[in-house]
Amino acid sequence: MRKPFVAGNWKMNGSRDSVRTLLDGIKAGMADVSVAEVAVCPPAIYIADVQQQLEGSAIGCGGQDVSTQASGAFTGEISTAMLQDFACRYTLVGHSERRTLHGEDDALVARKFSVASAAGLIPILCIGETLQEREANETESVVSRQLDAVIELDGIEALADCIIAYEPVWAIGTGKTASSAQAQEVHAFIRQKLAELNADVAEGVRILYGGSVKGSNAEELFGQTDIDGGLIGGASLMADDFLAICRAAR
């Protein structure tokens, strides 16, 4: 049985004050969200504040990105050990904004995945096709290629302890959600692809959907057989919206 998981990706939003208010709101409403595992991924500079505020709470914290390097002259980068120093359990890797705006290719994302899982962090591996790729019927080949980069580097077993987030790029921050049928089709494809290599890994791995998830569409999306929760951008910045999504993940 896969435990539903909902993670909020706050991206580069907020201030010390707004982060405090947002987290207070989420914590206050968590009592009736007992089923889902929940995490937030704040901007790195607020992780220390978030860690303090989350003390004693079941809500986890994650990085939005991680370096492949352990330490040294890598200006602007954050290592796995630094994330763990502040009690992060997760880190996003390969978010589409990192891939598009920061030129991260499959090989680099696979290395980030590899160092994160070797350090004991749970990587949330983001994959998904652009609109152009979907229209060219390339969705399956794109997500396959993105998964294969990780499998070739670390083996299929490495996926046992990770979370996959299928995020069609055309649905991120656009208000265009994939229909539940469209999302389920890709999730089933991903699980089937993994099952060809290792049935246990395929059955156990949680595959989240991300892309304009809201309180109003979460229940239908999360009700699909192969959708195990969500990676939430915009709607994770308002406590009530995020909580409504968490409640839908049963």
Residue type, 244: A
- Counted residue by residue, the chain has a size of 250
Please identify, using beta-carbon distances, which residue of 25 and 215 lies nearer to ligand PEP. Answer: 215
Phi, psi of 24 (to 5 degrees): -60, -45
Identify residue 43 by its one-letter amino acid code: P
- Which of 163, 213, 218, 249 binds ligand PEP (CB under 6 A)? It is 213
Contact segment (CB under 6 A) with ligand PEP among 77-85, 127-135, 199-207, 228-236 equals 228-236
Q: Is residue 187 among the annotated active site residues?
A: no
Using Cβ positions, the residue closest to ligand PEP within the complex turns out to be 233
Contact in structure between 174 and 153 (CB atoms under 8 Å)? no
Cα–Cα distance, 110 to 150 (Å, whole number): 5
What number of CA atoms fall less than 13 Å from residue 226's CA on the CB side? 21
Closest CA to 78 of 68, 87, 67, 64: 67
Instruction: Determine if 232 is a binding residue for ligand PEP (CB under 6 A).
Output: yes
Does 211 interact with ligand PEP (rule: CB under 6 A)? Answer: yes
Catalytic, 167? Answer yes
Kindly tell me which residue out of 158, 212, 241, 249 binds ligand PEP, with binding defined by CB under 6 A: 212
User: 5 to 64, contacts with ligand PEP by CB under 6 A?
Assistant: 9
Residues that bind ligand PEP (CB under 6 A): 9, 167, 172-173, 210-213, 231-235
Q: Tell me the catalytic residues.
A: 95, 167
